Chains A and B, each alone.
Chain A
Amino acid sequence: MTDHSETAVLASEPAPPPAHSASEIAEEELVQGSSLWKDAWSRLKKNKLAVASLVIFLLIVVACVVGPWIVPYDGQEQDLFLGATAPSAEHWFGTDTLGRDLLVRTLEGGRISLMVGLVATVVSLAIGVIYGATAGYLGGKVDSTMMRFVDLLYALPFTIFVILLMVAFGRSMWLMFVAIGCVEWLSMARIVRAGVMGLKKQEFVEAAVSLGYSHQRIILRHLIPNVLGPVIVIATLTVPAVMLLEAFLSFLGLGVQPPNASWGVLINEGQQNMEIFPWLLMFPAFFFALTLFCLNFLGDGLRDALDPKSAKD
């Protein structure tokens, strides 16, 4: 098109300086803004319970990742002569009926449990956010078709779905991640879609459309960042839900297979000998419960921090 309007905009600047010359506006002169994320973080920092939860959770994660290399035992090495022993200076958490060190097994189980929680949540996030945002943004027939598909998956009984998958593809830990992720993304998609439907009516989205931005750009740059607040909260609360689900599947014998262990498997084993060897149940259950508590408190803290209404009061 014509370029005469460009000169009109620059009319106040008779000779625009070449781009490479020292810019008139130096970085240090700019007033640095504080994004909503930054504000939310500063609010979260004031919430002692949430910060403590975050710290404890990170400690657990670090312990599970690094721990098994430091502890001088192998979680799969059996010592049938030793058998189950109570906690001692040598074996801090004691040993199980096969003489395996429970500390290592708890830490290794934590690795798997946390991995299930994180991988499945990331899978559900990735699918749910994009799927929900697309459905909500496009609306109309596309939306109803996409959401009926979600309803259909919702209607499938979860355990049967997992059993079918296991039967079809054989048992594998990764398959379980995928199976859980595939179920969890449904509610994520619904939440994101609802958020996007609300945002779509806001004028900044109309402005983006009238500037001729592509659908992809509008969804990724303008819609998703604005629904991320509730999504992060849900994600934090999804991790413990997924971990519980894993424990449940492992309990049914559909999840992690021996000699690998997750917290769910350990708790299952522990409760079988609960009356004779209580530490076998106590330690894994304690860590599992602690993690769930931390994530739930963190989720609550994030909800308060990210909610724009609580910013004002």
Chain B
Amino acid sequence: MPLLEVKDLKTSFYTRDGVVRAVDGVSFSLDKGETLGIVGESGSGKSVTCYSLMRLIPEPPGRIDGGTAMFDGRDLLTMGQRELRKIRGKRISMIFQDPMTSLNPYLRISTQLTEALRLHYDIDKKAAVNKAIAALEEVGIPEAAKRVHNYPHEFSGGMRQRVMIAMALITEPDLLIADEPTTALDVTVQAQIMDIIKKRQEDLGTAVILITHDLGVVAGTCDKVNVMYGGRMMESGTAEQVFYNAQHPYTRSLQKTIPSLQTKGEQLYTIPGLPPDVSKPIHGCAFYPRCPYPKTGLPEGNRPDLVELNDGHCYADCRFCDSSAPIESVLSTDVPEETEAAGAAE
């Protein structure tokens, strides 16, 4: 039995201006010790997916409309608040994007680190602090015994993110959800942080869900990858399957448009148009308006079903375009003219 099995998760926000279907039918499963990368742009629903699992969606306006998330045999989406509190912070913890705002500036690091320990375990203060020091040493903070009593503002950004990791892992959780843990950091620090997450994951056998927009970060760390777009899953599979045998036009286009040191060439390919407005109903395929492949029909009906290609490699089988050709032949390097404006405010 997998550690976490999410089936057909749906989360919407009911706002004055209409229903925003932030997550529309997402399924995945995760084994112990595995790393799953959820890749997507802003508005793709990648963060909302994980906030839904933690039941951290503000209600109202948000609401989990359907689906199940079986964690160790129990459904996270329907369990009571009391039971949930026992799991949150102890068996599932989370790292947030911005290390500058996710620590309480008025409390010492030691207080913040030991809080979760003392809440979930019967442990005295001294033992908790010793554990906190050990946790800080594990994430590479020098002079941990001294620095544990400092305040967050006495740490730099990279150091704070290390503290966040130490804090998230101090209860030795089964699942760690990392929401863009390196986006706010410098590249040279990013590499250090990802290394620490990887190392701690190996030590503790924690499963990790890594939310990111960066395909490079996913390639380096993840066993499995979910590609999301417009609140829906476009493609999922092992890293190798998704990177070397991408099936969905969005995955293929994305790979081609990212500048990288390895790709040499005068022009970058571009995906025309804008990400979809999820506050409006999407017919058929979410990527249809931007898809570079020749269209074979108008998008209609529900979202395309996920089809399994082989051995767990799934993709949304869009029936509205002919994606048989290699992506290079259809993508252009022109700067596309924007004809459709983003949804008006009203």
Residues in chain A within 8 A of chain B (CB atoms): 31, 34, 39, 42, 46, 311-313
Q: Are B345 and A34 in contact (CB under 8 A)?
A: yes
Which single member of B61, B341, B346 contacts A39 (CB below 8 Å)?
B346
Listed A/B pairs (13) with beta-carbon separation below 8 Å: A31-B341, A34-B344, A34-B345, A34-B346, A39-B345, A39-B346, A42-B346, A46-B16, A311-B345, A312-B15, A313-B15, A313-B16, A313-B61
Instruction: Tell me the nearest residue of chain A to B346, going by C-beta.
Output: A34
Residues in chain B within 8 A of chain A (CB atoms): 15-16, 61, 341, 344-346
Q: B345 — which chain A residues lie within 8 A by C-beta?
A: 34, 39, 311
For the A-B complex with A34-B344, A34-B345, A311-B345 known, give 6 more contacts whose Cβ atoms are closer than 8 Å: A39-B345, A42-B346, A312-B15, A313-B15, A313-B16, A313-B61
Q: A42 — which chain B residues lie within 8 A by C-beta?
A: 346
Q: A34 — which chain B residues lie within 8 A by C-beta?
A: 344-346
Q: B16 — which chain A residues lie within 8 A by C-beta?
A: 46, 313
Q: How far is the CA of A31 from the CA of B345 in the complex (A)?
A: 13
Q: B341 — which chain A residues lie within 8 A by C-beta?
A: 31
Q: How far is the CA of A313 from the CA of B59 in the complex (A)?
A: 11
Q: How far, in Å, is A237 (CB) from chain B's closest CB?
A: 25
Q: How far is the CA of A46 from the CA of B346 in the complex (A)?
A: 13
Q: A313 — which chain B residues lie within 8 A by C-beta?
A: 15-16, 61
Instruction: Tell me the nearest residue of chain B to A35, going by C-beta.
Output: B345
Instruction: Tell me the nearest residue of chain B to A33, going by C-beta.
Output: B344
Q: B344 — which chain A residues lie within 8 A by C-beta?
A: 34
Instruction: Tell me the nearest residue of chain A to B60, going by C-beta.
Output: A313
Q: How far is the CA of A46 from the CA of B17 in the complex (A)?
A: 13
Q: How far is the CA of A313 from the CA of B279 in the complex (A)?
A: 12
Instruction: Tell me the nearest residue of chain A to B58, going by C-beta.
Output: A313
Q: How far, in Å, is B165 (CB) from chain A's closest CB?
A: 31
**3 closest Cβ pairs, A-B complex:** A39-B345, A34-B345, A34-B346
Q: How far is the CA of A34 from the CA of B344 in the complex (A)?
A: 8
Q: How far is the CA of A153 from the CA of B321 in the complex (A)?
A: 72
Q: How far is the CA of A311 from the CA of B16 in the complex (A)?
A: 9
Q: How far, in Å, is B237 (CB) from chain A's closest CB?
A: 35
Q: How far, in Å, is B19 (CB) from chain A's closest CB?
A: 14
Q: A312 — which chain B residues lie within 8 A by C-beta?
A: 15
Q: How far is the CA of A42 from the CA of B346 in the complex (A)?
A: 9
Q: B15 — which chain A residues lie within 8 A by C-beta?
A: 312-313
Q: B346 — which chain A residues lie within 8 A by C-beta?
A: 34, 39, 42
Q: How far is the CA of A98 from the CA of B346 in the complex (A)?
A: 58
Instruction: Tell me the nearest residue of chain A to B341, going by C-beta.
Output: A31
